[in-house]
Structure 1
Amino acid sequence: MTHNNTSATVPTGSIVAPQQRIVQIALTQARPVVERVIETTRMSLQARLDSARTPGEHHAMQEARQQLVRLASVMAERYPDALRKALDEDTAQGDDKPTRSLFTVNFDDLELMDEAQINDSVERARARQVLVTAVEGPLADLDALVCAAQGLPRVQPEHNPLRPDVFLQALQSVVSQMQVTPQVRHDWMGLMAQALGTELRSLYLTQIDQLKQSGVKPVGYAMRQATGEVVYVAPAEAGVSPGFAADNDLYVASTSAGDPLLTLDRLRRLLLGEFNDAAAPAETHAPANDSQESFADRFAREFEDPAQGLPHIDPPATDFAMTVPAAFEALQEMNQVGQMMERLGTPRPPAAPAADGHPTAVQRAQVQGLGQALSMEVVALMVDNIARDTRLLWPVQQFIRALEPALMQLALSDPRFFSHKEHAARRLLQDITDRSQAFNSPEAPGFQSFMRSLMHIAGPLATATIESADDFEQVLQQLHAKWAEKDQALKQERQRAIEALQHAEQRHLLAAQISRELWLLPSMAKVPDAISRFLLGPWAQVMAEARLSAKPGTTDPGRYQELVDALIWSVQPELTRANTGQLARLLPKLLPKLREGLASIDYPADRTEAVFELLMQLHQQAFTPGPRVAAPAPAAPVTAAPMATPAAEPAQPAPLDDDDPWVAPSEARESGYIDISQSPESEGADSAPEATPSNAAPLQLPASTITVGTWVNLQVAGQWERTQLSWIGSHGNLFLFTSASGRTQSMTLRLLDRLLQQGALQVLAEQTVVDNALNAVAQTAMQNSVESRH
């Protein structure tokens, strides 16, 4: 793929070699690099041994140093192969690289991990933090250059084969093979990571110079803004990249000084229910008095203008709290872990903390034990991460914040609710956030109706006394019932589209099988190429359609198989000249049968007119004395895959390709099928969208990784439309997207890949909003563990 990008001026083909060269250089230098790392680590251990203050510390440093000296040659010998294996695995994964790093932990995996695995994860993350800090600046510049060498239009750090994670993974793999105690490995890894950082920094600077000398110029780089948004900018004039991209888009809350409350081990124990604190619900809150407006009415009054049709509302400023009921005012400023305890009070504006900044005695009294405090913190972080997710429109973000008091109450009585995907509260959050992604702006058709359903059905949870998951289950069922009313008509339309595509897929798979059988016929080589392509393509579809529609046991439905033999004979003048009478009797039946078959699949007439003209010329030759005249080329190509992108005809006709289904015009109308031959062609950077049409930065993913339920922005007739992948064919070659209004768009895998490359189809996210938020909680716990003094 060629990208038209002003900051990468060297042709892709001429700069792949430099990238391969720097990888080879890294492998060549692997042993001397790790030998220097080991020697630096030995010297650091010796220094710690010399300054040890206690017998225990002295013994630990001495043991770590002795074991390192004993195993140094073994590790140096094994490291190059470990690095080569890590690089090969990274290359083999290609675009299908897993989004989760080996140095992070997913929230839902914690319950499956034991204490040793938790410790290993923290150790890996701590080593990685040391390493990344050491190479941060040069790595940013190398990322920009390597991505340019790969022809990428922007920096994608995961595509840099020389990422520090790869080197560290290889080093940790070698260290794990050594027969030493966990304490010795722990004493090694921190120092080794620091030494490896120094070596990689030098390696990166050298490779940067070599790439620049090869004519590679860096592409733009990712910068994370204070709001958490990622923007891409060009490098500075001096050639230095202006920022260093984080590994993912998860928001990780900052922690207060001292040891944090939430660590990875404590989070795991919380999910396993190891904290047996008395589950005492927080003090309940009296509902608003009768004279106060209901939440739904108050919010709707601010969100909608009854005198206007669609509202014209800018995203809320910090005074948005002034427009919602008192129960929501305390939610507006609660964004940091240090304020967690302030969230546990009554639904009033948060009271000022004590002079020392700690929670008041009243606030402390509402939480009993470490388990409840951890539950509160996890809920607070989860809600905050959901409300920060840029995929959600601002009214939905505020609504999720409004549910925090109810979730806090639930956490005290049911602290593990967030760890069970099927828990009513978690499903409620997931369904609200997922359904809200159908709308790309507050002015989008149907969004007001969606918000009204939330206000009237789920809104009362904000000021309710929560006793159990049943409160959320009832709301969830009511919302589903409300949504089902609107979904029913859309479901019927979507089902018709799916049935049309399923039939097209079944017909095409059968047609591909028939096409291969026809291709093996000896007589197929005796006919003109245009006739062969017709039989292997459109006519195979006709025969497949007849077989799908026929009663079981029918041998040749429509007698279309019989027509193949007659057609092949009729286009060989050297044979028909010997029996013109038989040809004269055949023709009145042959041509009408051909048109009948093509009509059965609604095949466009203009695609076969050239074939019929050629047939007439070949048939006329039978009645003309003399040697056979070479058949002229048809006016328009008839390919075996008629809906594919027009291309130069192959030297020899080939059977149908299973991977490129053909959809009949009637099926195309039913499913909103986009013909690949009519899709917009890439015209370089100038034709790309000026700005992302969604409220979230799109992801660049291979089509094969997109799953049902994924929300995307699709450019249709020059307009952006928010739509959801609702069906994938059984063979992964057909895709159906459905918008909130019920509009369907279908396409082949080939077109989906093309649209992704052109930027005309943009994936909003791989993970769901709730999963992403909980993974951010785990990431915060991991970061706290890494920075903890214990």
Structure 2
Amino acid sequence: MLNQCFDEAERRTPAMLKRCIDAVMNSLQLAEGASLHNAQRQLFARATWSIAQCRGALAETFPVRLREAFEQQVDDPSASTLAGLFDSSLMQLVDDSAMNESLESVRLLQNLLPLVEHSLPILDARMSSLIGLDSIEVEKNPMRPSVFARVLRDLMAEVEEEGGIRVVWLQHIAHVLGRELGQLYEALALMLQQANVQEAGYRIRLVEDPEASRAASAPDVVTLDMLSMGDADGGGRDGGGDDSADLEPAALGRSRSELGNAVFQDFLAGGSGGGVQPLDEGYYEQVRRELGEVDALSAMPVASEALSGEALSRYRATPVVDRPGRQVSVDTTLAADRWGHYGLAHERTRVLLELKARAEDAAQAIGLDLVRKLVNQVARDPLLLAPVREAVVALEPALLRLALANPRYFGESDHPARLLVEEVAQRSFRYNDEFADDFLAYLEPVCAAFNALNALESEKPRPFADALGGLRKRWQQADAVETAAREAQLSSVRFAEARQQLADQMAWEISLRPDVFNAPELVLDFFYGTWSLVMATAQLRPVEGAPDIQACRSAVGTLLWSVRPETMRQSKAVFESLPGLLQCLHSGLDALGMSKSERQPFFDALMRLHQPLLSLRRVRVKGDQALPGTDGELDEPVKRDLSVAPRVFVTAQPWMATGEWADAGFQDTELDPQDEADPLPPVEQADQVAEPSVELHLNDPVPFVEAQEAVAPAVVEDQPADRAVLARLRAGCLVDMYSQGAWIRAELIWASARGTLFMFSSAGGRAHSMTRRSCEKLIGNHWLRLVETHAVVENAVQALTATAPTKGKRKRRRLATPA
């Protein structure tokens, strides 16, 4: 199974690396247009040209080298890939380009890790089990991100001699490579799950801590986990530390916190980390020094970080699914026309330091650091559009002020400030284009609300609750129109599904009638398919002027009676019954919505079935003698083989009339004209897609309900990767879909019980409905992509408070406060 994982990675990586290189080329072109320095523009231009020339060689060689690295890791799990990334020559006097390259290699790995944090732990757990480990050991996963980073760095060094160009490549490939790795890890984890590879678990080790008793007896000492000290933003899965020096209280007075994850984890849990310990003069002196630095920064001109001119035009012209993510953090300078003076990073830092100057104990200082860390964590969330992340950064001053009164408020899931940030983020998942009119209409009131909160300078949560209430009201008003349109669209497909289920049941009941034996197959097919739908319609949604359910049932008996061999001799009785029968049939089909052309083949065949009767009638009307060989009677009809039981089929896909398909928005989204691979068929409208069905016989012991269930799981087992994506679609899922020349964000609002029809809804309540076959084609051509979402604030809290597993005895460090 391990070799199968290697094979799958080797198969996927050529296309994966090509997509990464294409994204890097686009990002470099944007950077070239935005650069103000000629030398830098030339560097970007050379880097773009060089990687374009090496694209084929890199894509061809990368999977081979990866396979070798994977197998080397299996043979020697102790081999360190992190050491290979950070060149030992940094300890010597080397040129700047070599140092920069080694630093960028390590930074590449650090930037990859947040992008795979959702899929990698699952792969780590199953991979550890696969290679025979009792517990999870992430450093022994042969396919961990550091292996990919090292192989890529070494390969780049072979194809490009200039170190400066390689540094630029590494800077621009991190985001897209992380996204691709996340998808690869997800596919590998799914493959291991389908192979019944179980997840290993973490091993919890309790060790004796000689400092614990001393810390418990000394209220003026706060114990901090050594491994979590330092900047959490720069931490890595492979990282660790060995410094046991004390952290001075003055460190809390800095704008850049040195507190680590374990401190915040303990703090949010209400532990001893950062209680009501007083702050000494060294802390306040540090705050004053930092404020002085902010004053110096405010006197310096600030360059705008926003794209403009040609670079902005190229960025907007790039398809939304291929746009490189813009980096946002608490240090980002935001647009002044949107955020005022709080758009300046040093002004937000000033608010932080002024609040720290007002802090009276360690809990308030740690709480302020916690808010800034969480804001920075949300600002780095790759699933959010850049303007949304900028909005959270801009709200930092208002969020910081709350921490003085309630330092741990971000640990309260129902706190208004946390709910506001979360709901703004969740609402933004509806959009995938930051330049689209619908997104700008969403963003404008959010910006107004956030600016108003900053201006209030309140330390109470009530304004946040009011702001959230105002936004919710606007969203509900906007949703009301879409909800009405959505319900109208859903009503047609829901009715079609309910009608089909009832029709299948009625077809089964008809098949149990004794008079279906020896009936023509033409008639039985009509009853089991079309007429059962008419009967279901009459029961679920009676139409004025159409036959009711009792008349429909009577029509079944009349038609079966009219085609029986013994009845065919009673020409007078049959002739008297035919006009009323035909009128009933036509009225029922009219109520169903079946067109004249669709029903005509059946009536032509029915006429041929009654042709002997019609011929005899014409003879008698003319007063002629009976035809030779009849003596006024009909020839004996050909009998069916009584050993063949009537058949009834459970349809996998609900039948819908042409008008119903149009009302429900069924369509095939179009392929890009430049994509020549397997173009999609034209819109199928009322043509039914050939889906698997279950054939039932009267002699079968399987009841009808079990037959319905037999159709349902036709999606999951032994599927290719494309169908595995389809199997994950559930109501509420978001997708990026290519439709009418543009990428749109749509929500799956309905799927048929048997997984054969899907309805998506995009901005404005527009419906996009399609069959399973169409969905599979779109996924296979990468024109429908599942969008991952998560609880943004909760995810940020978990990432901030996550602690790395340690080996051996934990070391502790102390934050001493004066007695």
Taking structure 2 as the reference length, what is the TM-score of the superposition? 0.53
**Against the structure 1 CA distance between its residues 162 and 467, is the aligned structure 2 distance closer, same or farther, given a 3 Å change threshold?**
closer
- Correspondence for 1:325: 340
**Against the structure 1 CA distance between its residues 771 and 593, is the aligned structure 2 distance closer, same or farther, given a 3 Å change threshold?**
farther
What is the aligned counterpart of 1:129 among 138, 145, 154?
A: 138
**Against the structure 1 CA distance between its residues 612 and 463, is the aligned structure 2 distance closer, same or farther, given a 3 Å change threshold?**
same
- Correspondence for 1:277: 275
What CA distance in whole angstroms lies between the structure 1 residues aligned with 2:679 and 2:379? Answer: 30
- Correspondence for 1:660: 653
**Against the structure 1 CA distance between its residues 651 and 788, is the aligned structure 2 distance closer, same or farther, given a 3 Å change threshold?**
farther
- Correspondence for 1:686: 677
Show the 5 A alignment for 1:297-446.
Answer: 320-321=333-334, 323=336, 324-330=339-345, 345-346=350-351, 365=357, 371-372=363-364, 374-446=366-438
Question: 1:561 and 2:547 equivalent?
Answer: no
Q: Deviations over 1:59-83 (max 9, x none)?
A: xxxxxxxxxxxxxxxxxxxxxxxxx
**Against the structure 1 CA distance between its residues 555 and 464, is the aligned structure 2 distance closer, same or farther, given a 3 Å change threshold?**
same
- Give secondary structure in 1 for the equivalent of 2:458: coil
- Correspondence for 1:261: 259
Question: 1:745 and 2:750 equivalent?
Answer: no
Question: 1:538 and 2:561 equivalent?
Answer: no
- Correspondence for 1:466: 458
- Correspondence for 1:220: none
What CA distance in whole angstroms lies between the structure 2 residues aligned with 1:732 and 1:369? Answer: 58
Question: 1:478 and 2:457 equivalent?
Answer: no
Q: Alpha-carbon deviation of 1:443?
A: 2.9
Q: Deviations over 1:401-435 (max 9, x none)?
A: 11122223324433444444443223222222222
Cα pair 2:123 2:189 within 8 Å, conserved: no
- Correspondence for 1:201: none
- Correspondence for 2:605: 614
Q: Alpha-carbon deviation of 1:164?
A: 14
Instruction: Flag structure 2 segments of 5+ consecutive residues without an equivalent.
Output: 1-7, 14-73, 79-117, 126-132, 152-182, 209-231, 245-257, 288-305, 319-324, 616-633, 681-720, 813-819
What CA distance in whole angstroms lies between the structure 2 residues aligned with 1:751 and 1:594? Answer: 34
Cα pair 1:527 1:568 within 8 Å, conserved: yes
What CA distance in whole angstroms lies between the structure 2 residues aligned with 1:450 and 1:759? Answer: 28
- Correspondence for 1:217: none
Letter in 1 for 2:664: S
- Correspondence for 1:22: none
- Correspondence for 2:591: 600
What CA distance in whole angstroms lies between the structure 2 residues aligned with 1:382 and 1:140? Answer: 27
Show the 5 A alignment for 1:40-119.
Answer: 101=121
- Correspondence for 2:748: 725
Taking structure 1 as the reference length, what is the TM-score of the superposition? 0.54
- Correspondence for 2:500: 508
What CA distance in whole angstroms lies between the structure 1 residues aligned with 2:349 and 2:150? Answer: 46
Question: 1:767 and 2:790 equivalent?
Answer: yes
What CA distance in whole angstroms lies between the structure 2 residues aligned with 1:576 and 1:627? Answer: 11
Quick one: percent identity of the two aligned structures? 23
What CA distance in whole angstroms lies between the structure 2 residues aligned with 1:126 and 1:464? Answer: 51
What CA distance in whole angstroms lies between the structure 1 residues aligned with 2:671 and 2:563? Answer: 39
- Give secondary structure in 2 for the equivalent of 1:655: strand
Q: Deviations over 1:708-732 (max 9, x none)?
A: 4332122335543221233556887
**Against the structure 1 CA distance between its residues 443 and 767, is the aligned structure 2 distance closer, same or farther, given a 3 Å change threshold?**
same
Cα pair 1:712 1:723 within 8 Å, conserved: yes
**Against the structure 1 CA distance between its residues 320 and 612, is the aligned structure 2 distance closer, same or farther, given a 3 Å change threshold?**
farther
Cα pair 1:703 1:752 within 8 Å, conserved: yes
Q: Alpha-carbon deviation of 1:128?
A: 1.6
What CA distance in whole angstroms lies between the structure 2 residues aligned with 1:500 and 1:168? Answer: 44
- Give secondary structure in 1 for the equivalent of 2:748: strand
Cα pair 1:504 1:664 within 8 Å, conserved: no
What CA distance in whole angstroms lies between the structure 2 residues aligned with 1:726 and 1:384? Answer: 33
Letter in 1 for 2:526: F
Question: 1:590 and 2:581 equivalent?
Answer: yes
Q: Alpha-carbon deviation of 1:544?
A: 1.1
Cα pair 1:262 1:377 within 8 Å, conserved: no
What CA distance in whole angstroms lies between the structure 2 residues aligned with 1:160 and 1:715? Answer: 27
Q: Alpha-carbon deviation of 1:567?
A: 2.1
Q: Deviations over 1:438-482 (max 9, x none)?
A: 332233232222222122223222344232221211111111222
Instruction: Flag structure 1 segments of 5+ consecutive residues without an equivalent.
Output: 10-32, 41-97, 106-123, 143-152, 185-249, 285-301, 333-342, 351-361, 632-649, 690-697
What CA distance in whole angstroms lies between the structure 2 residues aligned with 1:546 and 1:138? Answer: 65
**Against the structure 1 CA distance between its residues 680 and 164, is the aligned structure 2 distance closer, same or farther, given a 3 Å change threshold?**
closer
**Against the structure 1 CA distance between its residues 390 and 785, is the aligned structure 2 distance closer, same or farther, given a 3 Å change threshold?**
farther
Q: Alpha-carbon deviation of 1:581?
A: 1.7
What CA distance in whole angstroms lies between the structure 2 residues aligned with 1:427 and 1:747? Answer: 36
Cα pair 1:547 1:557 within 8 Å, conserved: yes
Cα pair 1:688 1:759 within 8 Å, conserved: no
Cα pair 2:511 2:646 within 8 Å, conserved: no
Letter in 2 for 1:380: R
Cα pair 2:261 2:800 within 8 Å, conserved: no
**Residues paired across the two proteins, number:** 528
Q: Alpha-carbon deviation of 1:597?
A: 1.0
What CA distance in whole angstroms lies between the structure 2 residues aligned with 1:717 and 1:6? Answer: 35
Cα pair 1:672 1:746 within 8 Å, conserved: yes
- Correspondence for 1:670: 663
What is the aligned counterpart of 2:739 among 711, 716, 720?
A: 716
Q: Alpha-carbon deviation of 1:629?
A: 5.9
Q: Alpha-carbon deviation of 1:511?
A: 1.8
What CA distance in whole angstroms lies between the structure 1 residues aligned with 2:144 and 2:435? Answer: 45
Letter in 2 for 1:581: K
- Structure with greater Cα Rg: 2
- Give secondary structure in 1 for the equivalent of 2:764: coil
Cα pair 2:738 2:783 within 8 Å, conserved: yes
Q: Alpha-carbon deviation of 1:762?
A: 1.5
Letter in 2 for 1:130: E
Q: Alpha-carbon deviation of 1:562?
A: 1.2
Q: Alpha-carbon deviation of 1:514?
A: 1.3
**Against the structure 1 CA distance between its residues 465 and 570, is the aligned structure 2 distance closer, same or farther, given a 3 Å change threshold?**
same
**Against the structure 1 CA distance between its residues 517 and 623, is the aligned structure 2 distance closer, same or farther, given a 3 Å change threshold?**
same
Letter in 2 for 1:669: A
Aligned-pair RMSD on alpha carbons? 5.6
What CA distance in whole angstroms lies between the structure 2 residues aligned with 1:587 and 1:616? Answer: 11
**Against the structure 1 CA distance between its residues 268 and 548, is the aligned structure 2 distance closer, same or farther, given a 3 Å change threshold?**
farther
Q: Deviations over 1:676-726 (max 9, x none)?
A: xx9989x9983489xxxxxxxx99964454444332122335543221233
**Against the structure 1 CA distance between its residues 758 and 304, is the aligned structure 2 distance closer, same or farther, given a 3 Å change threshold?**
closer
